[in-house]
Amino acid sequence: MVSIIAKVSKSLKGIHFPVDREKCIDYAKKNMAPEDVLNALKHIPEGKYESMAGLWHAVSREKR
């Protein structure tokens, strides 16, 4: 089973930082991200993310 972190990484490959939640969601949609990725991104806190690691942290916190 592929982890949500791996799926987020694949769906956001090539995104330019910094980004906010809406930019992540829009970018993932353009990359045909699966519904679980879109749902995970919809639940991360609003704010600016400076790196993929920051996004991973936000997604993993929301999945607890």
C-alpha–C-alpha distance, residues 40 and 30, integer Å: 16
Domain total of the chain: 1
Question: Of 58, 54, 53, nearest to 43 (Cα)?
Answer: 58
Count H helices and E strands in the chain, helices first. 4, 2
Residues 4-55 pLDDT 10s: 999 999 999 999 999 999 999 999 999 999 999 999 999 999 999 999 999 9
* Greater pLDDT, 53 or 2: 53
DSSP letter (8 states) at residue 46: S
Global pTM value: 0.90
**Is residue 62 pLDDT above 80, yes or no?**
no
Q: Could you tell me the pLDDT band of residue 61, with boundaries at 50, 70 and 90?
A: confident
By residue range, what is the domain housing residue 22? 4-62
Phi, then psi, of 34 in degrees rounded to 5: -70, 160
- For residue 42, what is the enclosing H or E element? helix 35-42
